[in-house]
Structure 1
Amino acid sequence: MRAVHFTDTYLPRRDGVVTSLRTLAAALTTAGHPGLTVVPRHPDQPDEPDVLRLRALPCGVADLRLSPWLLRGAAATGTIAEIAAVGPDVVHVHTPGPVGLLGVLTARRLGLPLVQTYHTDLHAYADAYRVPARALSAGVRLYARRLGVPRPAAAPASHARDHRPMASGAVARRRAAMDATNTLLLGGADAVVVPTRAVLDRIHLPVPAERVHLVPTGVAPRPTTPRQINDFRYGHGIAPSDRVVLYVGRVNREKGIELLISAFEQVLAGCPNARLVLVGALYEPRWLAGLLRLADPRVAERVTLTGQQPPEVVAAAYGAAEVFAFPSRTDTQALVLQEAGLAGVPVVLVDRALHAHGALAGAAVCADPDPGGLATGVLRLLLDPDSARRIAAAAAGRAAAHTPARYAEAIAEVYASAVGLASRFNARGRTRS
C-alpha cells in the first residue's frame, strides 16, 4: 500500500503536523508500506529520500512557504505525472494549503482514493488572526476553479452536529468561508481521519459519519540524559532552585500564550522560585514583548524563551520540567501532551474536550480557562508532589498506549477502507474526477 502524502508544512519548521506526518511515514515504511511525501521546498531542509520538493515562496507568516502552482493551474500537470510514475495506491492530504489542494487534484486526476487528516482547527485560527472574510472567500473561489467544480453553497447557520456558538458579521463570514473550504477539500474524501473527538465536538465535517475515522497519532518517547538536562538548564540560565513550568509549541496568540502569561503572574505569588520556560518558534516578538510589558515586572524576569529547538533539546526541556502547562483551546490533539506524559511530567490544560477525549484520557489537571484557574492548576502540581506523581504516572501509561507502530497499523486500515470505498464507487460508474 503506497501512499503519497501532501503537506504545506515541513522541515525546518517543526509543528504537530510535521511530527505526525514524519512519524507516520517512517512507521508505514517499517511496516512494509513505503510512500512519497510532497512538500514545499525550503533551502534549509535536510536531504531525505522519498520526499518530492515543490517550488515554494515565503509567505511572511510563521515561516510558512507556499507553492505558487495555485496561481497557474497548468503547473500541476508535471508534478502529477511525476507522482503517477511511483505507482501510488492512495493519496493522503494533511493540510489545507496549496500543496494539500494539489493532493485533492492528484487523487481526482489519477482516480485514486483520497484520505484527509483534519489536523488543524481552521475556524479557530481564522478567528484568532481575524483573517479578512473577503480574502478567505477569494481563496474559496480559486480553490473551486482549480478543482473545476462549482463554489460550494453557503452552509446553514447552524447544524445539529456543530457545537460552535452562533455568530454574526465578520466572524460568521469567516466561518462560512472555512466551511466552504472544508467542503472542497474533504467533501469528496473516501476517509477523513480525526486525531481526537475534540474535533467533532467543535465543528461539523462535511462527510458522512461512516467515513470519519478516529486515529490518535502515535508518539515515541524522547530519550534524554541527566547531562543533557543539566546542559539545558545551564545554557538557558535556569538555576538549580528554579521550579520549571514548561510549555512546548509555537509561542503564538492562537495557542493561549496571553492566558499563560497572566496565569504565571499568579503562580509566582504562590511559588516565587517558579520559572516559565517557553520552547518553540516565536513569530510575533512585538506581540509577546507587549504582553510582558503589561505584566508585573517579576514575570519578565522569570520567563525563559528558547526559540525552536531540535528534538534532543526538547527532550532535555521535558526532563528539566516539573509541570507542563498547556493553555491552548485550538488544538485538535496536541502531541506535546503525549510527549510530556511519556517524559513523566504532569500536565495542566484548559481545553475540556481535549482533556476528556485526548490521548491522555483525563490523566491531567483540567483547569478553568482563566488566569486564576490555570494558576491554581499549576500550583496544585508544584505544591503537592504526591498528586503530581500520581497524575504523571497515569499520563505515562495512557500516552504509552499510542505507539507509532499502532498508529501506522490503524492508518493502513483506513487506507484499505478508502480503497474499498473508491472501488465500489468506480464499479458503479462514478468516479472522483
Structure 2
Amino acid sequence: MRYAIVTETYPPEVNGVALTVQGLEHGLRARGHDVALVRPRQATELRDSGDELLAPGLPIPRYPGLRFGLPITGRLLRHWRARRPDAIYVATEGPLGWSAVRAARRLGIPVATGFHTRFDEYMRDYGVGFLEGTALGWMRRFHNAANATLVPTRELAGFLGGQRFANVVRLSRAVDTALFHPMRRDEGLRREWGVGTEGLAVIYVGRIAPEKNLELAVQAFRAVRALRPEARFVWVGAGPAQARLQQANPDFVFAGVQRGESLARHFASGDLFLFPSHSETFGNVTLEAMASGVATVAFDYGAAREHIKDGVHGAAVARGDDARFIRESVRMASDDSLRDAMAQAARRAVEGLRPEQVASDFDDILQSLRAGGHNASTAVA
C-alpha cells in the first residue's frame, strides 16, 4: 500500500504531535508500506529528499523552532496524480493540512484527519476565550471534510460526537516501554540536580507554555517544599513561558529539551511527575512517566482517564479541582512507600501497551477507507 502523511510538525521538533506522527509513520513502514511524508521545510533544508515533499513554512509566533506549512494545493495535486496514494492521513489543521484535505477530495483519495490539539481550549489560555466557539467550529469544518477523524480516547470521541463531528474513530496510543524504563534511573543526574539518593525530585516534562497551566504546578511544588525542604523541581522542555518562570523561581532546575534515551533518563530519575495541563487531547508524557516508574498527579482526562487508576497508579484529579491536585502532590511527596508502590503499579499497568498494535490499527483504518468505508469505526475494537 502507498500512504501519504501530511503534518505541520515533525522531529527534530519536540512535541507530542510531532513524535506521535513519526511513530505512526515508522509503524506503517515497519509493516512494509510505502509512506510519503509532506511537511514544512525547516530552515536548513534546501530541497525535497527521498519520500519527503517539503512545503514552504513560516515560524509560529511565540514558539521558536516551530513552523506552520503554507498551502500547496496545486503542488499536491500534481504530486499525487503522479504517485497516487491509496489513502492519506492529515495530522494537523494548519494551512498545509487544509490544502491537503482539499487536494485529496478533488482527487477522490480517501483521507483521515487526526485531532491532536484542543485549539478551542487554547483560546482561554491566551486570553481570547470569546473565540472558543469559533475555533471549535473551524476545526469541525476541517475534520468533517475528511472520511474519518482519529482521536486517542473514548472521552474525546464522545465529546466530538456531541459537537457534530462526523465519523470519529478512536485510535489508541502506546508507549515504548523498552525506552522508558525504571532501569534508566541515574543517580549522577540526580546529583547534578542537587538531589541526593534519599532526596525528592519533582519533575515536569513538556512545553513550558501558558496553555499547560504551569502556575498550578508551581503552587503544588511550593506546598511540597514546605514539608520536604530538600525537594527540587526539575523542568524538562522549553517554551515561551520559561523566561518568566525561571526569573520568578531561581531555585528550579531547567534541563532544557531532551530526546530519546536522554529524555528517558530524565524521566526515570524523577520521583513524582506533576502534569497540571487541562487542554491536552491525550498527553503522551503521562504514559512515558508511568512506563518510567514515576508516580503521577494529573487531571482525569486524556491519557490519565484512559490509564491511571486513581489511588493506584497515582492521582487522577477531577478537572478544575486545583485544591485536590495540590493535596495529592503533597500526600504522594510526603509518603515514600506509597509513592514507590504507585510507581511500580504504574509501570505494570502500561507494560502491555505495544506501538506495533497501534500501527496495525492505524493500517486497518486506512485500508478500510480505501475499501470505501466512509465510517472507519469498525476498523478497531
Normalising by the smaller structure, the TM-score range is 0.7 to 0.9
Query: Residue type of the partner of 1:68?
Result: L
1:255 is aligned, of 209, 212, 221, to 212
1:394 aligned to 2:341?
Answer: no
2:165 aligned to 199, 207, 212, which one?
A: 207
Aligned to 1:273, what secondary structure does the other structure show?
coil
The whole-number CA distance in structure 2 between the counterparts of 1:197 and 1:53 is: 34
Post-superposition Cα deviations, 1:73-92, rounded to whole Å, max 9, x if no partner, equal xx531233224433311111
Question: What corresponds to 2:302 in structure 1?
Answer: 354
1-structure distance, mates of 2:302, 2:316:
9
Contact preservation (8 Å) 2:309, 2:315: no
Deviation at 1:374, TM superposition (A): 2.4
SS at match of 1:193: strand
> Which residue number corresponds to residue 60 of structure 2?
59
- How many Å separate the matches in 2 of 1:366 and 1:67? 36
Are 2:91 and 1:94 aligned? Answer: yes
Match of 1:125 in 2: 122
Identity of aligned residues (%): 27
Are 2:55 and 2:70, in contact at CA under 8 Å, matched by a contact in 1? no
Give CA-to-partner distance per residue, 1:147-202, whole Å, 9 cap, x none: xxxxxxxxxxxxxxxxxxxxxxxx34x13321331232111221111101232465
Distance 1:373 1:195 in 2: 26
CA distance in 2 between counterparts of 1:233 and 1:99 reads 42
Quote the Cα distance in structure 2 between the aligned partners of 1:277 and 1:419: 46
Bigger Rg over Cα: 1
Shift in Å, 1:327: 0.5
After superposing the two structures, state which structure 1 stretch, 327-336 or 381-390, moved more. Answer: 381-390
Alignment CA distance shift 1:130-1:348 (3 Å): same
TM-score by length of 2: 0.87
Q: Quick one: structure 1 residues 24 and 77, their matched pair in 2 at CA, closer, same or farther if it must change by over 3 Å?
A: same
Q: Classify the secondary structure of the residue corresponding to 2:88.
A: strand
Letter in 2 for 1:357: R
- Paired residue type of 2:43: P
Structure-1 separation of matches of 2:333 and 2:344: 16
Q: Is the 8 A contact 1:121 1:199 kept in 2?
A: no
Corresponding position: 1:322 with 2:280: no
Q: Is the 8 A contact 1:218 1:407 kept in 2?
A: yes
* Alignment partner, residue 234 of structure 2: 277
**Counterpart residue identity of residue 306, structure 2:** G
Unaligned runs of 5+ in 1: 70-74, 132-170, 293-298, 425-433
Say if 1:367 and 1:376, in contact at 8 Å, map to a contact too.
no
Structure 1 residue 19 displacement after superposition: 1.1
Measured at CA, do residues 384 and 217 of structure 1 come closer, stay the same or move farther in structure 2, by a change above 3 Å?
same
Are 1:220 and 2:176 matched, yes or no?
yes
By how many angstroms is 1:59 displaced?
A: 3.1
Is residue 187 of structure 1 aligned with residue 141 of structure 2? no
What's the TM-score, normalizing by structure 1? 0.77
Distance 1:112 1:249, change over 3 A: same
Q: Which residue of 2 aligns with 1:40?
A: 40
CA distance in 2, matches of 1:397, 1:226: 14
Give yes or no for the alignment of 1:377 onto 2:328.
yes
Q: Distance in 1 between matches of 2:194 and 2:51?
A: 41
Judging changes above 3 Å, is the alpha-carbon distance between structure 1 residues 361 and 373 closer, same or farther for their aligned structure 2 residues?
Answer: closer
SS in 2 for 1:348: strand
Rounded to whole Å, the distance in 2 between the matches of 1:111 and 1:309 is 41
Q: CA deviation at 1:242?
A: 3.5
Aligned 8 A contact 1:348 1:365 in 2: yes
Structure 1 CA distance for aligned equivalents of residues 351 and 216 of structure 2: 29
2:367 is aligned with 1:416: yes
Structure 1 position 260, deviation (Å): 0.4
CA drift at 1:65 = 1.2
Report the CA distance between 1:239 and its aligned residue: 4.7
Tell me how far 1:246 sits from its aligned partner: 1.0
- Contact 2:73-2:100 within 8 A present in 1 as well: no
| 8 Å Cα contact 2:186-2:268 kept in structure 1 | yes
In structure 1, C-alpha distance between the alignment counterparts of 2:73 and 2:303, rounded to whole Å: 41
Flag structure 2 segments of 5+ consecutive residues without an equivalent: 376-381
**Matched residue pairs, number?**
368
Which deviates more, 212-221 or 78-87? Answer: 78-87
Alignment match of 2:288 (pick from 339, 351, 360): 339
TM-aligned CA distance change 1:387 to 1:262, over 3 Å? same
* CA distance, structure 2, for counterparts of residue 45 and residue 306 of structure 1: 28
Following superposition, the deviation at residue 236 of structure 1 comes to: 4.5
Aligned to 1:105: 102
- Taking a change above 3 Å as real, the CA distance of residues 304 and 410 of structure 1, as seen in their structure-2 partners, is same
**Alignment pair present for 1:116 and 2:117:** no
Q: Which aligned runs of 4 or more in structure 1 are off by greater than 6 angstroms?
A: 45-48, 224-228
Q: Is 3-12 or 239-248 further displaced after alignment?
A: 239-248
Q: What is the Cα deviation at residue 356 of structure 1? A: 6.0
Deviation at 1:411, TM superposition (A): 0.9
The code of the aligned residue for 1:333 comes to F
* Aligned CA distance change for structure 1 residues 84 and 44 (closer, same or farther; 3 Å): same
Aligned equivalents of 2:296, 2:272: Cα separation in 1? 6
* Counterparts of 1:361 and 1:49, CA distance in 2: 44
C-alpha separation in 2, matches of 1:27 and 1:407: 8
In the TM superposition, residue 68 of structure 1 has moved relative to its aligned partner by 3.1
Deviations 1:342-362 (A, max 9, x none): 11111111x223366324455
Residue of structure 2 in register with 1:264 after alignment: 221
Residues 312-367 of structure 1: CA deviation (Å, up to 9, x unaligned): 22111112111111111111111111111111111111x22336632445533124
Amino acid at match of 1:274: A
Kept in 2: contact 1:346–1:364 (CA 8 A): yes
Deviates more, 1:303-312 or 1:393-402: 393-402
Q: Which amino acid aligns with 2:364?
A: E
